[in-house]
Structure 1
Amino acid sequence: MSKTPALDLLLHELALATPGGYAVGLHIRYVSPLIMVNTYPEEWQEIYTAKVYGLRDPTLAWGLSHTGTRRWSQIGLPDPFGILKEAGEYGMHYGMICSIGPLSSRTIAGAARGDREYTEEEMEYVHRIVQRMHDLSVPPTRLSKAQIEALRCIADGDRHAAAAAKLGISESAFKARLTSARQKLMARTTAEAVQRAREYGLI
């Protein structure tokens, strides 16, 4: 999941509130989210990716141009590719979109169900969960000197042993710095941490 216990608890709450699954992208910057979690049916995820629906999805377009919540049936945008109708073939007959934050770091969540429309109360509940997730996962504005040095070594192509020697520390201490940098950046891998640190102008 996210490697952040508090965030994982919120994802669990979101799962309970969205019987047809959800997709949430936290702090979308330069088209890429800081964290992406998708629990929609796997077949639908494969089709959505293969057909590049992310560039054509009217619910995503609504989320990029508005904040707040809206039912899929009420977004008022054209769906020339029939994405919402096709989603219904995988049990997602009804849904909602939730959009939070500035366009420079927006969080967008979609949620589905197969039996009926989401009520206003249910949408507000989902919005509160997603808002808490958005607030909890705000990207850092700075890293420690040690974290920056470690990430720069990796960015320069140094292996762990060579980087540790360059910094005058043990290899285990160097790995600890990388671990703390990954945690600060909510990255799953060191490569991802380097990429995010660059995107945020931290290294």
Structure 2
Amino acid sequence: MGRNQIIDDLLSELGGVAPAGYFLALHIRFAAPLMMFQTYNPAWTDHYTRNAYALRDPMVAWGISRSGATRWSDIDLPDPFGIMAEAASFGLVYGVCVSCGPMTSRTVAGVARGDREFNEEEMSAVTGCVLRLHHETQPPDHLTKAEKQALLVIASGDRYAAGAARLGISESAFKARLSAARRKLFARTTAEALQRAKDYRLI
């Protein structure tokens, strides 16, 4: 089974224990996650984004500053903007926050339901799922010299044929290097791979 299929299966598993949806930011580095997924009520997501709540959300603050798992009702951080109460009005009444990984590559997840608190068994299932997702999406700590060269050639504005000629390799070999870099960086496009490589100080 490929890594993308494993990630999809784990996301499906996470969705199965989050009746009101989930939010997952994987490997937050330099203030941005490598990957982000969310299945909360779109009306809440829009409201949350419009009001820039991520900068003031006690759940996010808990996840960045601590590791482990906690029910939202047990988060002891101030909520002067009443974000948790607003979330409840959108159906996100009860939830769990899970945080793992070092500060330099932190993963934070929130899962929600509207009917009752999560029990210990469910919290354990959520935690295990998030830990596995964190592991499966571990970003690279290096790219090969060939992969870096290919990305940098694209960054300079060359297209495939010109880039291949510049490096003295075939166009198919050039594309293969870019494809390898995209896979390592979980990027759908070369432009996205290039940005992530820069974000993670790999080039």
TM-score (norm 2): 0.94
Q: CA shift at 1:40, angstroms?
A: 0.6
* Superposition RMSD in Å: 1.3
Deviations 1:169-202 (A, max 9, x none): 3333322221111001111221221122123232
Matched with 2:92 is: 92
Shift of 1:78: 1.3
Aligned to 1:178: 178
Deviations 1:136-168 (A, max 9, x none): 111112222221111111122222221111112
Aligned-residue identity in percent: 56
Alignment of 1:37-56 (within 5 A): 37-56=37-56
The answer to whether 1:78 aligns with 2:78 is yes
- Alignment partner of 1:190 is 2:193: no
Alpha-carbon deviations, 1:3-55, whole Å to 9, x = none? 81111111111011111100001100011001100111111111110000000
Q: Does 1:144 align with 2:169?
A: no
Which residue does 2:156 correspond to in 1? 156
Q: 3-state SS of the aligned residue for 1:109?
A: strand
Instruction: Give the 3-state SS of the residue equivalent to 1:4 in structure 2.
Output: helix
| Runs of 5+ unmatched residues, structure 2 | none
Secondary structure, counterpart of 1:34 in structure 2: strand
d(CA) in 2 for partners of 1:175, 1:89: 49
The answer to whether the 8 A contact 2:41-2:90 is kept is yes
1:11 aligns with 2:11: yes
After the TM superposition, list the runs of 4 or more consecutive aligned residues in structure 1 that deviate by more than 3 angstroms. none
Report how many residues are paired. Answer: 201
1:135 aligns to what? 135
